[in-house]
């Protein structure tokens, strides 16, 4: 997050880089340096990969500030103070990166959000921009004139980003591919003539997890199951749960499918597939 007015105490430009859900690099306009944020990357800060990332972040620092001003101009939003009064605050968020699937196919993404709303998305297949709102049309047309930049964007998403991701995965081997199995607990309580079953998966990693209820050993329709969000624990692991309302006395007919259950579960439980895909994400944030 950043600000064009120093009095706000926020940087004009700040970037955070992630591999999957792990923060590994940060950069700010003030420091103009890429800072390692994960232990597994600290030993590689003298590598060509880190130099390449640092140079990219410095280039994006300048480019995205220019983009910010362009978008503000096209919204008729002021960037300066008037009669000693600060101009109203506006924010720009940019998310770009790539995913490499287990079949080695890749997908890149490059999106802009302005004042908390989706704004523009780059389409590498067609080298143009997709406007998410009418006010983005002016910027879309302006950027589509610059074919050189569009080709550079596509080259980054389709070539450079997947290469960097593979090298980061090699550098973080052991830390990024670790697997922590869940502790599974199944509970229930009865209220208002309804018995609520809850299957909890605790302290697992990575984040991707599938949990489902079975009735008489047959999977239930997803619409009958209340799936809660998977939430971080704060120690690098996650927790999640699924809930189900059933008639009292019929609890024995239901199973939380989880072949990797580590606890003494009152019902059989199962944690499903962990995704073999990986992603590389850079998030940029500015505020005026």
Closest among 138, 137, 148, 169 to 20, alpha carbons compared: 169
Predicted local distance difference test score (pLDDT) of residue 180: 85
Are 180 and 204 in contact by the 8 Å Cβ rule? The answer is: yes
Are 206 and 21 in contact by the 8 Å Cβ rule? The answer is: yes
pLDDT bucket at 79, cuts 50 / 70 / 90: low
Are 14 and 28 in contact by the 8 Å Cβ rule? The answer is: yes
Predicted local distance difference test score (pLDDT) of residue 170: 92
Whether residue 230 is predicted with pLDDT greater than 90 in this model: the reply is: no
Are 265 and 197 in contact by the 8 Å Cβ rule? The answer is: no
Cα separation, 81 vs 200, whole angstroms: 53
Predicted local distance difference test score (pLDDT) of residue 154: 97
Q: Is the dihedral of CA 37, 39, 41, 42 positive or negative?
A: positive
Q: Which of 87-101, 157-171, 211-225 has the lowest mean pLDDT?
A: 211-225
Predicted local distance difference test score (pLDDT) of residue 5: 53
Cα separation, 54 vs 57, whole angstroms: 5
Predicted local distance difference test score (pLDDT) of residue 224: 58
Predicted local distance difference test score (pLDDT) of residue 2: 44
Give the rounded percent of residues in the chain with a pLDDT score beyond 70.
80
- Write out the DSSP string of 83-119: TTBPPPP-EEEEEEEEEE-TTS-EEEEEEEEETTEEE
Q: Domain boundaries in the chain?
A: 6-174+279-287, 183-270
Whether residue 266 is predicted with pLDDT greater than 60 in this model: the reply is: no
pTM exceeding the 0.95 threshold for the entire prediction: no
Predicted local distance difference test score (pLDDT) of residue 164: 93
Mean pLDDT on 128-137: 96
Phi/psi at 223 (nearest 5 deg)? -70, -20
When mean pLDDT is compared over 121-130, 222-231, 247-256, the highest value belongs to: 121-130
Whether residue 270 is predicted with pLDDT greater than 50 in this model: the reply is: no
Predicted local distance difference test score (pLDDT) of residue 194: 87
- List, for residues 150-203, the tens digit of each pLDDT value: 999 999 999 999 999 999 999 999 888 888 888 888 888 888 788 888 888 888
Tokens, residue 259: 């072949």
Predicted local distance difference test score (pLDDT) of residue 281: 58
Whether residue 267 is predicted with pLDDT greater than 70 in this model: the reply is: no
pLDDT bucket at 210, cuts 50 / 70 / 90: confident
Predicted local distance difference test score (pLDDT) of residue 87: 63
- The CATH class of the 6-174+279-287 domain is alpha beta
Are 255 and 214 in contact by the 8 Å Cβ rule? The answer is: yes
On whether the 183-270 domain is CATH 2.60.40.10, my answer is: yes
């Amino acid at each position: 997050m950043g600000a064009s007015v120093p009095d706000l105490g926020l940087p004009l430009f700040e970037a955070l880089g992630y591999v999957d859900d792990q923060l590994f690099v940060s950069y700010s306009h003030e420091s103009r340096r890429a800072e390692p944020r994960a232990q597994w990357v600290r030993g590689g800060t003298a590598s060509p990969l880190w130099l390449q990332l640092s140079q990219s972040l410095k280039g994006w620092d300048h480019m995205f500030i220019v983009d910010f001003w362009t978008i503000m101009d096209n919204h008729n939003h002021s960037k300066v103070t008037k009669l000693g009064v600060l101009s109203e605050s506006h924010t720009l968020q940019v998310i770009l990166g790539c995913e490499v699937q287990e079949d080695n196919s890749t997908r890149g993404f490059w999106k802009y959000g302005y004042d908390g709303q989706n704004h523009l998305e780059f389409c590498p297949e067609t080298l143009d921009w997709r406007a998410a709102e009418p006010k983005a049309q002016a910027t879309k047309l302006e950027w589509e004139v610059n074919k050189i930049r569009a080709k550079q964007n596509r080259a980054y998403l389709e070539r450079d980003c997947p290469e960097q991701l593979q090298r980061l995965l090699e550098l973080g081997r052991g830390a990024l591919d670790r697997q922590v199995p869940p502790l599974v607990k199944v509970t229930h309580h009865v209220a208002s003539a309804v018995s609520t079953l809850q299957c909890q998966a605790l302290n697992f990693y990575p984040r991707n997890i599938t949990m489902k209820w079975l009735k008489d050993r047959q999977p239930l329709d997803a619409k009958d199951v209340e799936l809660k969000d998977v939430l971080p624990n704060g120690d690098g692991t996650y927790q999640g749960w699924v809930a189900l309302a059933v008639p009292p006395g019929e609890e024995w007919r239901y199973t939380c499918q989880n072949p990797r259950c580590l606890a003494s579960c009152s019902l059989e439980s199962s944690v499903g597939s962990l995704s073999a895909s990986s992603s590389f994400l850079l998030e940029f944030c500015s505020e005026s």
